[in-house]
Structure 1
Amino acid sequence: MPSDLLGFDNVLLPVGDLAEAVSFYERAGFEVAFRLDEAGIAGLKVGKETPGLLLRVDEELRHRPPVWGSARVWLEVRDAREAARALAAAGVPPLDAAFSVATGWTVEFADPWGNVIGFTDYSKRPELARTG
């Protein structure tokens, strides 16, 4: 077991179709860092950080609704309630209305393969928020 954890490398999300997944995540506001169709992967940028979301094709994976027991990835945004409006306007329906959390607000959405992403803000605890 490693003696210290240094940080995230990437968060891998299984998807059934790379082109469909890239299109979906671009509508959700992500920028593509790289795309290797022959390898079945695409990297999505998350802010100014080098790690990001890595979409990886599993050709046997079919569309499915999100399962509550599955892992969730929450990413910091400036205003989660505004992000919820932007998602809906882009055709990416939030799972629910933005909800209050200890640090601010969060909105979650699911991709067609059931991967759940949350956009969360630090409006209640701005001293913890990223500044860049």
Structure 2
Amino acid sequence: MLLPVGDLDEAVDFYERAGFPVAYRLDEAGLAILRVGGETPGVLLRAEAGAGRRPPPWPAPRLWLEVPDARATAEALAGAGIPVLTEPFAGATGWTVEIADPWGNVIGFTDYTKRPELGRV
């Protein structure tokens, strides 16, 4: 998934604190490629002129990723200085928490604690 960002260095810092290590950067192209789990590329950040700061739009596309425990992930995000959009909320399969980067891109972390047979983690 490619996410537009206004400042590549700031975006890399944000996503590293959120638990996405950088696989590699192509600064000349304005790209940073992040790992998601063992996957590379996982998420691509692309610096785009005019990508200003904005609150997350609703409705908007959201990238949800599976984690073992969304509530623990919410605590880890808060500890890294990343605010969550709402407190973790329950769904049919487990819990979910969402964050937004400074450019309004929304990432969700969801678990399958209520239906572990459906999860991959």
The TM-score, its normalising length taken from structure 1, stands at 0.88
Alignment of 1:20-31 (within 5 A): 20-31=10-21
CA distance in 2, matches of 1:43, 1:57: 12
Question: 1:100 — aligned with what?
Answer: 90
Gaps of 5+ in 2: none
Following the alignment from structure 2 to structure 1, what is the Cα–Cα distance between the partners of residues 69 and 60? 25
Q: Distance in 2 between matches of 1:20 and 1:119?
A: 21
Identify unmatched segments of 5+ residues in structure 1: 1-10
Cα deviation, residue 73, structure 1: 0.4
Q: Alpha carbon RMSD of aligned pairs, Å? A: 0.9
The percent of aligned pairs where both chains have the same amino acid is 69
* Residues 51 and 102 of structure 1, relative CA distance in 2, 3 Å threshold: farther
Structure 1 position 49, deviation (Å) = 2.7
Among candidates 57, 60, 67, match of residue 57 of structure 2: 67
Q: TM-score, normalised by structure 2?
A: 0.96
Match of 1:8 in 2: none
Structure 1 distance, partners of 2:41, 2:91, is 25
1:109-132 C-alpha deviation (Å, 9 max, x unpaired): 00000000000001011112224x
